[in-house]
Amino acid sequence: MSEETMPASKNRAAMDITHLGLPNRHVDVDGLLTARNSVDFTTVFVDPKSQRAGGLDAHDRTPRTGEDADMIIYVQIEIGNIFHQRRIPSIDQDHQQDNISPLIETPSFDFILTLMRRGLRNHFRHRHDGDGRLTGTMWTATAHVITAVIGSGVLSLAWAISQMGWIAGPLVLLAFGGITYYTSVMLADSYRFPHPETGKRNPTYMAAVKASLGSREVKACGILQYMSLFGTCVGYTITTSHSLEAIFRAGCYHAEGHDAECKTSLSYYMLGFGATELIFSQIPNFDKMSWLSIVAAVMSISYSGIGLGLGIAKAAEHGPRGTLGGLDIGRGPGEVALIEKLLSVANALGNMAFAYSFSTILITIQDTLKSSPPENKIMKKATLIGITTTTLFYISVGCAGYAAFGNEAPGDLLTDFGFYEPWWLVDFANACLVVHLIGAYQVFAQPVFAFVEGWITKRRPDSHFIHKNFDLVLPWGSTYHLNLFRLTWRSGYVAVTTLLAILLPFFNAIMGLLGAIGFWPLTIYFPIQMYKKQAAINFGSKKWYMLNAVSAICLLVTLAAAVASIQSIIQKSKEYKPFSS
C-alpha cells in the first residue's frame, strides 16, 4: 500500500487495521515521539507470530516473510496530513533475548523506541536537529527557569528568615540555591544517556530516571512525583483562597478602618476556587496553552515585585527590624521555648525547600534546546544564571519583609495584613496571585489526569463509560467532546483537593510539608544517583562518599521539615473549625 493511499484519520484511538491484513492484536503507542515534536501520531502494530523485527519494505511494501521474520513490527506515523510506513530493521541479539510476549500486550517504551530509532534515525535527526523546530537557546531556557522557580513560595520567605535571623536566614537561602544548582548540573548531563552529549534523549524527568536507574527506581520516582503534584494542587487551593479573602478584607479595612472585624470564612473561597478549577479541568491540554506561561510569568513577577517594594517602603519608613538570631528563646514577651524554636526553624527549612522545588521540570526545559551546541552545556549556563537571579531575588524579598516586620513577619507577605495601604496595590498583588494559581493548578493537575486516564484506558479497552464521547455543540459554534469518565474522574480529583484544603488551610505548615516531600527525593537523591551511574563513580571513592554525604545531610533536613510541618498541622487543627469566620 502506498503512502499516498493511507487513510488520513485524526482519531487518537487505535486505528482500524483490517485493510492491512494484519492480526487484530496491536499496540497503540500514542505520542511516542511527540515529546520532541517529531510526529503528530504514532501507531505500532505487532505481529505476535514472529521473533525478529521487520515491516513493510520501503520499495515493494510487502511484509517480510521467512523463518528469520518471526515478529513483524509495523510503524505508522502521521507527519502533517500524510501517513507514512517505515520498515524497522532487525533487532540486535540483546533484544532478541528479551521476553517478547509481554511486550505485545504492554510494550516497553525503551524497547520500541530503540527499534524506531534504528528505522527512523535519519528522519528523526532531520525532524529534531535540522529543520529548526527546536529553537530554544540559553536565554529562552534561562527565562523558563526563572519563571518556573518564582512562584507563591516567595511570599513565605520573610517568615522563614524571621525564624532564623539576619545571619542564618540569608545563608540558608544561599545554601539551598547552591545545592539546587549543583544537582541541576547533574540533571543537565542526565538528559542524554549513557553519554551526556551523544546518548539517547530523555525528554522528561521520569524518562531520565528510567534510562539511568531502571524500572524499579522510576516507579518510586513516579509515586513521589505524583504525590508532589497532588499536594501542590492542595497547596495552591489554600494559597489562592487566602488571597481571595485578603482582597475582601483589604477593601473592608480601607472602608471601615484597620480595627474593624471584617470577618469572612476561608472555606467559601476554597469552594469558589474549586468550582473554577472543576470547569478548567474539563478543558483538554489546558496546561499546554501557549498563553498560559506568559500570563504566569507576568503575574508571578508582578506580585513578587509588589511584595518586595512594599517591604522596602515599610522598612524605610521606620528603619530595619529583626535580630541576628531570629526568634529569641526564653519565657518573656516575644520569646519561645527551645523546642518551639527548633520546630519553627525546621518548618522554615521546608518553606525554603518548597521555593526551590522545580528540578523535575528542568529536563523538560532542556528538551526545548537546539542540539548544537550540546544541550547539557547550554542548560548548565542557563541554570546558573536562572538560579543565581532567583536566589538573589528570594533573598531580597525575604530580607525586605524581615526588615519591615522583624520577628513578627507574617506567614504570607500579602495576605496576613502586614500591609494595609495602599489597599488597591495589595488587592492588585493578590489578584495577580489568584490569576497565576488558577492556571498553575492545571499545570500540576493535568499530568495526573493524563496518567490516570492513560492507565485506565489501557486496562478497560471495551468500556463505553471510559471511551465513549458525546459531542456537544457550544453556543459559539465549537464542538466539545464530553467524556463521562473524564468528567467524573477530574471532578472527583478537584473535589478531593478542595476538601483537603478546607480541612487543612494552614499556609506555612502545608508549604513546609510539600517542600519536605519533594526536595530530597526529587531534587537531591535521583539526580545524584543518575550522576553516579552515568559518571561510573566507584564505590568507596572520595567522590562517592562526598555525594552520599550531601544526600544524607539533605535527607536529615527533609525529615526535620516534615516532622515540624506535621506537628504544626496537628497543633493548628485542634483550634480550627471549617466554615467558621
Q: What predicted TM-score, i.e. pTM, was given to this entire model?
A: 0.72
**Residue 550 domain-assigned?**
yes
**Is residue 531 in a domain?**
yes
Residue partners of 442: CB distance under 8 A and separation at least 6: 277, 280, 281, 286, 287, 292
Q: Does position 46 have pLDDT exceeding 50, yes or no?
A: no
Q: Please tell me the predicted confidence (pLDDT) of residue 151.
A: 78
Look at 233 and 420; give whichever has higher pLDDT: 233
Under 8 Å CB-to-CB from 223, ≥6 apart: which residues? none
Q: Is 104 a domain residue?
A: no
Distance CA(36)–CA(104), nearest Å, equals 25
Contact at 8 Å (CB) between 270 and 501?
A: yes
pLDDT digits (tens, 9 = 90+) for 407-455: 989 888 888 766 777 889 989 999 999 999 998 888 888 888 988 988 8
Any domain includes 82 = no
- Within-domain flag for 346: yes
Instruction: Measure the CA–CA gap between 217 and 210, rounded to whole angstroms.
Output: 7
Residue 12 lies in a domain: no
Cell 544537582, residue located: 183
- Among 155, 194, 549, 147, smallest CA distance to 358 is for 147
Residue 332 predicted with pLDDT over 80: no
Per-residue pLDDT tens digits for 369-405: 887 788 999 999 999 999 999 999 999 999 999 999 9
Considering only CA atoms, which of 48, 49, 46, 144 is closest in space to residue 88? Answer: 46
What is the β-pairing status of strands 192-193 and 82-86?
unpaired
Give pLDDT, residue 479.
81
Instruction: Give the pLDDT mean for 172-198.
Output: 93
Q: Which residue has the cell 515521539?
A: 33
Residue 573's contacts (CB-CB under 8 Å, 6 or more residues apart) are 503, 504, 506
Residue 40 lies in a domain: no
The CA distances from residue 237 to 270, 429, 442, 516, 569, in Å, are: 6, 17, 11, 19, 16
Q: Looking at the predicted structure, is the pLDDT value of residue 162 above 70? A: yes
Say if CB 317 and CB 403 are below 8 A apart: no
C-alpha–C-alpha distance, residues 212 and 530, integer Å: 6
User: What residue numbers bound the domain in which 508 lies?
Assistant: 109-575
Task: Give the total number of structural domains in the chain.
Answer: 1
287 has pLDDT over 80: no
Place of cell 530530597: 520
- The pLDDT value given to residue 135: 74
Confidence at residue 269, expressed as pLDDT on a 0 to 100 scale = 94
Query: Residue 497 has which C-alpha cell?
Result: 483537593
Task: Provide the percentage of residues in the chain whose pLDDT is more than 90.
Answer: 40
User: Is the predicted pLDDT of residue 94 greater than 70, yes or no?
Assistant: no
Q: Who has greater pLDDT, 2 or 449?
A: 449
234-244 burial code (b ≥16 CB/10 A, e <16) = bbbbbbbbbbb
CB-facing half-sphere around the CA of 314: CA atoms within 13 A = 24
The overall average pLDDT reported for the chain is 77
489's grid cell: 474522574
CATH code at 126?
1.20.1740.10
Residue 516 near residue 359 (C-beta atoms within 8 A): no
Q: What pLDDT band is residue 79 in, cutting at 50, 70 and 90?
A: very low
Please indicate, yes or no, if residue 382 is contained in any of the structural domains: yes
237-246, 276-285, 481-490: lowest mean pLDDT where? 276-285
